[in-house]
Amino acid sequence: MIFMLNFLFWLFGGLLIGIGTYAFVDKWRGTGLITVNTIYDVLLDISLVLIIFGGVVFIVSFAGCVGALRENTCLLKFYSLCLLIFFLLEMAIAIIGFVFPHTMQSIVEESFTDKIIHKYRDNDDLRNFIDFAQKEFHCCGLSSEGYMDWSMNEYFNCSSPSREQCGVPYSC
């Protein structure tokens, strides 16, 4: 049972790595240069998130799969330790989120709103995701300020020389 489940996760991890790599190479061919300066750049690039997440799933499930198949205690201990670390991280994030909900919300709002709004036109994947989210959830902007968030974008602020000055994306 452990072997089969980890084998499926191993395939899933490999699939995520493949999809992420394809998306990264496709974006690289289209734009030419992809810069990763901060951790936010990694978190906002879905192809890099897929590659990293897929790599972690691939390695951990491979250890569980081979460890169960060969009854290798070293690999099974590594697998168990990784699962324990993932569980403890999930619990810590959930507890912090429940104990300090307003603090977590403000941290996420402040850190991501600036980055996402500024990169709206620079990253096609991010733009498509924001447009989808705004249409799906019938909202405009990312924070509690709503459409006013878009004044931080160089294309939509009122001092912009473009046609879109003092405007919002079409998905609003």
Domain assignments of the chain as residue spans, ordered by start: 2-99, 100-172
Average pLDDT, the chain: 86
Using one digit for the tens of pLDDT, what is the confidence trace for 129-148? 888 888 888 888 877 777 88
Distance between CA atoms of residues 94 and 145, nearest Å: 26
Fold classification of 100-172 (topology level) = Cd81 Antigen, Extracellular Domain; Chain: A (1.10.1450)
Higher-confidence position of 16 and 25: 16
Please tell me whether the overall predicted TM-score, pTM, comes out greater than 0.85 for this model: no
Q: Looking at residue 100, what is its pLDDT? A: 85
Distance between CA atoms of residues 104 and 40, nearest Å: 16
Q: Looking at residue 33, what is its pLDDT? A: 66
